Amino acid sequence: MTTRQPRTWSGRRPTLEEVAAHAGVGRGTVSRVINGSPRVSERTRAAVEAAIAELGYVPNNAARALAGNRTDAIALVVPEPERRFFAEPYFSDIVHGVGIALAETEFQLLLTFAGSDRERQRLAQYLAAQRVDGVLLVSVHADDPLPDLLEQSGMPAVISGRRSAEETLTSVDSDNFGGARDAVAHLVARGRRSIATITGRLDVYGAQRRLDGYRAALVEAGREVDEELVCPADFTEEGGRQATAELLERRPDVDAVFAGSDVMASGARQVLRSAGRRIPQDVALVGFDDSAIARHMDPPMTSVRQPIEEMGREMTRLLIEEIAAPGRRRAGAAGRRGREQLVLPNALVVRESS
């Protein structure tokens, strides 16, 4: 550990006390003005504001944080290395949504990467050091201990997606079930007979829900679910390829594939192509995420779009709500304990692959 040194630069800034003296009022009154308390007369408020402007006063945040036990900052925790964060448009959209929601508040956003274990450790320290009032968690892996850690600590937190049907943290998710159901219903409406699905890792709750949606759509169409058409994979392109190869062998009559992610769909497409199947003439293909992959695929691919920016906005809104009313829990549908679980609708974007 290194020795710390005082780090002072440039001249002293005016303090609350100085503003108070300048305005001829007490310290408390200036504080009230700064914090927008209604218990200040118009005259006094004007005088104080003039003094603030004249001295160029800006409150010292460290002091506010210490005295008020709050920081006016929230952290967006990304349990990924920087590179992946920048590579995926998902994060960009989330950050944008968060930024929009935050613009109307006094909160500052801290972007925190926790890709390596070392970074995770520092993060835990950081959060414990009470540098933020709340945490937004995105892209959480199933085995990540961070959410539980946060929950135990009582730190307000909102998670994107749910870890299970009984998520205990406040969460914002997209309607994976509905999105998948719509996609498959679309394939049914297009007259496809043998509709297969390639799933993501089923220990990821969202992947499970997409599979559930697939099943529901078939049942609603009065069809039976043929388990031979359900191909488990792992969200990767290679997984998509492999699952598709096996599928073609098992069920050469397949005429539609609903993939649980665009990336897996991309793998599927490669195998379908090299097997001589035309898209969409022989086999229709639908993905999930509506990422750049879907738009740039040849042919452009039908995919389920998640309202990611809106998710970012809603996460932020819920987090701020939770910070404002700590410990408050909202009644769930069943009226039992639990924090809010917000689910936003997805939209099917139809393109030429189906």
Partner DNA sequence: CAGTACTGTGGGAGCGCTCCCATGTGTGAT
Partner DNA sequence: ATCACACATGGGAGCGCTCCCACAGTACTG
The binding site for a copy of itself (CB under 8 A) comprises 1-11, 13, 35-38, 58-63, 65-66, 68-71, 82-83, 86-87, 89, 91-92, 95-96, 99, 103, 106, 108-111, 113, 118-119, 125-126, 128-131, 133, 152-156, 323-324, 326-327
Question: Token pair of 181, please?
Answer: 């159901």
Task: Based on the shown chain and the rule CB under 7 A, indicate whether residue 10 belongs to the binding site for DNA.
Answer: no
Q: Of the two residues 13 and 193, which places its CB atom closer to a copy of itself in the complex?
A: 13
Q: Of the two residues 90 and 288, which places its CB atom closer to a copy of itself in the complex?
A: 90
CB 74 within 8 A of CB 134: yes
Task: Based on the shown chain and the rule CB under 7 A, indicate whether residue 165 belongs to the binding site for DNA.
Answer: no
| Minimum gap (Å) between residue 88 Cβ and a copy of itself | 9
Task: Based on the shown chain and the rule CB under 7 A, indicate whether residue 258 belongs to the binding site for DNA.
Answer: no
Q: Of the two residues 57 and 113, which places its CB atom closer to DNA in the complex?
A: 57
The type of residue at 99 is G
From 34, 55, 109, 344, residue interacting with DNA (rule: CB under 7 A):
34
| Minimum gap (Å) between residue 257 Cβ and a copy of itself | 28
Helix 176-189 to helix 205-220 angle (10° resolution) is: 40
Alpha carbon distance 67, 74 (integer Å): 18
Q: Of the two residues 126 and 352, which places its CB atom closer to a copy of itself in the complex?
A: 126
Q: Of the two residues 18 and 119, which places its CB atom closer to a copy of itself in the complex?
A: 119
| Minimum gap (Å) between residue 92 Cβ and a copy of itself | 4
Task: Based on the shown chain and the rule CB under 7 A, indicate whether residue 111 belongs to the binding site for DNA.
Answer: no
Give Cα separations from 339 to 157, 169, 230, 308, 326 (angstroms). 10, 6, 34, 21, 11
| Minimum gap (Å) between residue 35 Cβ and DNA | 5
Alpha carbon distance 194, 254 (integer Å): 5
Long-range contact set of residues 296-300: C-beta below 8 Å, sequence gap at least 24: 297/265, 297/266, 297/269, 297/353, 299/351, 299/352, 299/353, 300/351, 300/352, 300/353
Q: Of the two residues 91 and 214, which places its CB atom closer to a copy of itself in the complex?
A: 91
| Minimum gap (Å) between residue 298 Cβ and a copy of itself | 16
Return the closest-CA partner of residue 233 out of 255, 202, 193, 254: 202
Question: Token pair of 99, please?
Answer: 């930024």
Alpha carbon distance 348, 181 (integer Å): 10
The type of residue at 4 is R
Return the closest-CA partner of residue 56 out of 19, 100, 5, 98: 19
Question: Token pair of 42, please?
Answer: 């118009």
Residue 328 interacting partner from a copy of itself, DNA, none (CB closer than 5 to 8 Å by kind): none
From 22, 32, 163, 351, residue interacting with DNA (rule: CB under 7 A):
32
Return the closest-CA partner of residue 173 out of 141, 135, 209, 216: 209
Task: Based on the shown chain and the rule CB under 7 A, indicate whether residue 336 belongs to the binding site for DNA.
Answer: no
| Minimum gap (Å) between residue 326 Cβ and a copy of itself | 5
Residue 141 interacting partner from a copy of itself, DNA, none (CB closer than 5 to 8 Å by kind): none
| Minimum gap (Å) between residue 151 Cβ and DNA | 22
Torsion sign across C-alpha atoms 117, 121, 126, 128:
positive
Task: Based on the shown chain and the rule CB under 7 A, indicate whether residue 25 belongs to the binding site for DNA.
Answer: yes
Instruction: Catalog residues that contact DNA under the rule CB under 7 A.
Output: 4-6, 12-13, 15-17, 24-29, 31-32, 34-35, 38-41, 43-45, 57, 59-60, 63-64, 66-68
